[in-house]
Amino acid sequence: MILRDRPVQARFPHRGSKILLWPSAFTTVSARAERIVKYNPATLEPVGELDATSPDEIPRIIHKARAAQAGWAALPLEERREVLKRLQAHVAANIETISRTICEETGKPRMEAINADMMSALSATMYSVEKMPSLFRPRGTDFGKLSLMMRYLGRRSYIQPRPLGVIAIIAPWNYPFGIPFSQAVMAVAAGNAVVLKPSSETPFTGLELRKAFIAAGVPEDLVQVVIGSGSKVGNALASSNVDRVIFTGSTEVGRKIMAAAAQRLNPVTMELGGKDPMVVLADADLPRAAEAAAWGCYVNAGQTCVCIKRIYVHESVYQQFLDLFSEKASRIKLGYGWDDPEVGMGPLINASAVEDMEAQVARAIEQGGRVLFGGKRPNMKGHFFEPTAIVDAPQSSDIVQKETFGPIVAVLRFRTEEEAISMANDSSFALSGSVWTSDLGRGRAIAERMDGGTIHVNNVGYTFGLASTPWGGRKESGFGHTHGEEGFAELLEPHHVHVDKGRFARELWWHPYDQEGLELSRGLNDILFGGRYGRAAALLLRTRRRLKGR
Ligand code: NAD
């Protein structure tokens, strides 16, 4: 059965309601479409279910997005800015509704939906509205030492930034609104259309995103959502006729997406996994560092790409730090935080994530580690796992080297600053990290030597919410940027226009090739690049004559 121009119903059984979804959100539902059934991982209650998009529909969805993009990019800039201002107002006015969907799908505390998802979405919208006037401004090229000559020849170059076209966003479930929304709003601000594939763990939050854009008044097909599994729908999207794929997710899937995108040479931005180090020097403000660690290790139940996963503490303050850290972590209340503002940590996303944590703890012990606290699932309904710290695990062990997407941190000690930097950099990941000291000069010097897209001095992992700062990783944490000017640069084509007033009849390098052309070419290279000015005047006169065609 093919449903074409009819809205599709998604059920929210526990609310006893149904919602209508726009046809172009996942336009066609075939008889064999995947069915996505979503449960709240904290309460295990159903959230809703819906049919997936058929991968066969993706070319048509992109075609429609492309048509909408042409219309959107042709609108006057101020009109587009007004739409994004309305978008900001709409999201701000609907924080509770959107947060509720986020919390139901992920089980995360309400504080985290508001502070991380909603704030980063709103900050990116505000930043985009502010930046839009400068995004499309043409900028002249500086020819450097050749400037005088280019002026004499009557030539100039400039860059006219243009939208890329259609941006595919393949998103994870951990910040199911904040991540794709901030990427989508910047893409749209840069004049592009967006086709988003949310994680199949968080499809309803993905649909909330589209709803916000539509409410703000973007053209119907400018921001579309396709629903389904990564292997089917995500793969079809990455290998489709889009102009960039922004992928946020695991390194393993990143590799698959690069391979799929390579089929069409689609450029990719890769925001991948992390294993962030925290370096605590002897002169650090230890209570603040311990407080930061208790948040930075366990925010979103440790399911944050920039969660602290390795803590390196100077040996002189190691025990003191462990005591403070254990005390702060022990105060974190587990549960479902929609109705309880004191809940500090929600569940993991599903049962297999909990099993993975158990396996990682067992492996850490096998390799010499010791559980300082936590290490098991509590006696609770839902996919919970206790905040966990492992000590004594060697630097080479899996718990220190492999990604742990859950509430487990390894704590190690160091003797010298050099040793701390080298241990922090001894990782295949390089997403973010932090150094803690009361000597800011020393902190900066260490931060500048640590690997990662962002290194904080005396803070941890919050700059995703500051949309004006670039976001991106190195090594197996990915490449490219979202957010900041660097992020906008990846959403625009630096269209180069070169204008020649046509003062001369020909170029030195045009046909016919002959002995004179060869001598002049050699001589010019000597003057321009070799700094040899002998016979320069005569050579330039002869060149001028030749260019004039005499
Ligand atoms: P994931 O890699 O399993 O999935 C991410 C997205 O890719 C989902 O939408 C999924 O459906 C899709 N996908 C899966 N297989 C695919 C395939 N073969 N082809 C196309 N698409 C496919 O990641 P996740 O479990 O949703 O999120 C957790 C991971 O994301 C962690 O590794 C975390 O570190 C990373 N992450 C990174 C950042 C960052 O900014 N660097 C931010 C958040 C999360």
* 3 state SS for 236-300: HHHCCCCCEEEEECCHHHHHHHHHHHHCCCCCEEEECCCCEEEEECCCCCHHHHHHHHHHHHHHH
Around ligand 1, the residues with Cβ closer than 6 Å are 170-174, 179, 197, 199-200, 229-231, 234-235, 238, 248-250, 253, 256-257, 260, 271-274, 305, 403, 405, 431, 473, 478
At residue 302, the pLDDT reads 98
Going by C-alpha positions, the residue among 155, 147, 205, 196 that lies closest to residue 176 is 205
Same domain, 510 and 398: no
Same domain, 289 and 178: no
Atom index in ligand 1 nearest the CA of residue 252 equals: 2
What tokens does 454 get?
A: 């962002």
At residue 5, the pLDDT reads 29
In a domain, 36, yes or no: no
Same domain, 312 and 383: yes
Atom index in ligand 1 nearest the CA of residue 478 equals: 41
**Cα(337)–Cα(344) distance, rounded to whole angstroms?**
8
In a domain, 20, yes or no: no
At residue 328, the pLDDT reads 98
- Report yes or no: 345 and 109 within 8 Å, Cβ to Cβ: yes
Strand positions, DSSP E, 141-222: 155-163, 166-170, 193-197
- Report yes or no: 98 and 177 within 8 Å, Cβ to Cβ: yes
Same domain, 253 and 326: no
Same domain, 521 and 434: no
Q: How many domains does the chain have?
A: 3
Angle, helix 95-106 to helix 77-93, in steps of 10 degrees:
70
Same domain, 253 and 321: no
**Cα(481)–Cα(410) distance, rounded to whole angstroms?**
28
**Cα(396)–Cα(402) distance, rounded to whole angstroms?**
10
* pTM of the shown model: 0.94
- For residue 105, the surrounding DSSP H or E stretch is helix 95-106
- Report yes or no: 400 and 271 within 8 Å, Cβ to Cβ: no
Same domain, 283 and 253: no
In a domain, 146, yes or no: yes
How much distance in Å is there from the Cα of 335 to the middle of ligand 1? 25
What is the C-alpha end-to-end distance of the chain, expressed in Å?
75
- For residue 128, the surrounding DSSP H or E stretch is helix 119-135
Same domain, 343 and 385: yes
In a domain, 526, yes or no: yes
How much distance in Å is there from the Cα of 254 to the middle of ligand 1? 7
Same domain, 361 and 284: yes
In a domain, 87, yes or no: yes
| Residue with CA at minimum distance from ligand 1 atom 42 | 305
How much distance in Å is there from the Cα of 351 to the middle of ligand 1? 17
At residue 34, the pLDDT reads 84
What tokens does 229 get?
A: 């599994």
Q: What is the phi/psi pair of residue 35, to 5°?
A: -110, 125
**Cα(98)–Cα(181) distance, rounded to whole angstroms?**
12
Q: 274 burial class (0-12, 13-18, 19+ CB within 10 angstroms)?
A: buried
Burial 242-266 (b: 16+ CB within 10 A, else e): bbbbbbbbbbebbebbeebbeeeeb
- For residue 449, the surrounding DSSP H or E stretch is helix 440-449
Q: Which residues are catalytic?
A: 271, 305
With pLDDT > 70 as the criterion, what percentage of the chain qualifies?
94
In a domain, 207, yes or no: yes
**Cα(304)–Cα(376) distance, rounded to whole angstroms?**
20
In a domain, 46, yes or no: no
Strand positions, DSSP E, 127-185: 139-140, 155-163, 166-170
**Cα(97)–Cα(75) distance, rounded to whole angstroms?**
31
Show which of 463, 479, 513 is a domain's final residue: 463
CATH code of 303's domain: 3.40.309.10
Same domain, 367 and 457: yes
- Give per-residue pLDDT as tens, 153-163: 999 999 999 99
Going by C-alpha positions, the residue among 194, 190, 125, 126 that lies closest to residue 161 is 190
| Residue with CA at minimum distance from ligand 1 atom 22 | 230
Atom index in ligand 1 nearest the CA of residue 198 equals: 9
**Cα(487)–Cα(481) distance, rounded to whole angstroms?**
5
Going by C-alpha positions, the residue among 256, 236, 188 that lies closest to residue 492 is 188
CATH code of 93's domain: 3.40.605.10
Same domain, 389 and 532: no
Same domain, 233 and 373: no
182: helix, strand or coil: helix
Point out the residues of the chain with pLDDT beneath 70. 1-33
Atom index in ligand 1 nearest the CA of residue 477 equals: 41
| Residue with CA at minimum distance from ligand 1 atom 11 | 230
Strands 17-21 and 8-12, how do they pair?
antiparallel
How much distance in Å is there from the Cα of 186 to the middle of ligand 1? 20
In a domain, 18, yes or no: no
Residues spanned by the domain of 282: 276-463
